[in-house]
Amino acid sequence: MARVDVTVRGGGIFGLSIAWACLRRGARVRVIETAAWGAGSSGGLVGALSPHVPEAWNAKKAFQLESLLMAGDWWTAVEAASGLPSGYARLGRLQPLADDRAVEAARRRAGKAASLWQGKAEWRVIPATGSAWEPKTPSGWLVHDTLSARLSPRMGLAALLGALRASGADLVLGDDSEVGAVIHATGIVGLAELSQAFGAPLGSGVKGQALSLRHDARDRPQLFVDGLHIVPHADGTVAIGSTSEATWTEDGPDAQLDGLLEKAIAAVPALAGADVVSRWAGVRPKAASRAPVLGTWPGRVAHFVANGGFKIGFGMAPKVAEVMTDLVLEGRDAIPPEFRLDTLLQKTARR
By C-alpha distance, which of 63, 43, 42, 41 is closest to 52?
Answer: 63
Question: Side-chain half-sphere of 332: how many Cα atoms within 13 Å?
Answer: 6
Question: Taking the domains of the chain in order of start, what are their residue ranges?
Answer: 6-129+150-203+288-350, 141-148+204-287
Q: Decide if domain 6-129+150-203+288-350 falls under CATH 3.50.50.60.
A: yes
Q: What is the pLDDT of residue 29?
A: 98
* Cα–Cα dist 3/8, whole Å: 14
Q: What is the pLDDT of residue 307?
A: 97
* Cα–Cα dist 151/288, whole Å: 27
* Cα–Cα dist 143/157, whole Å: 30
Amino acid found at 252: G
**Contact, 102 vs 88, CB < 8 A?**
no
Q: What is the pLDDT of residue 349?
A: 73
- The CATH classification number of 141-148+204-287 equals 3.30.9.10
Q: What is the pLDDT of residue 318?
A: 98
Amino acid found at 266: A
Please list the alpha-helical segments (H only) found in 119-252. 153-166, 187-198
Q: What is the pLDDT of residue 350?
A: 67
**Contact, 240 vs 225, CB < 8 A?**
no
Span 14-69, pLDDT tens digits? 999 999 999 999 999 999 999 999 998 999 999 999 999 999 999 999 999 999 99
What is the reported pTM?
A: 0.96
User: Distance of alpha carbon 54 from its chain centroid, rounded?
Assistant: 18
The residues of the chain scoring below 50 in pLDDT are: 1
**Contact, 42 vs 153, CB < 8 A?**
yes
177 cis-preceded (ω within 30 degrees of 0): no
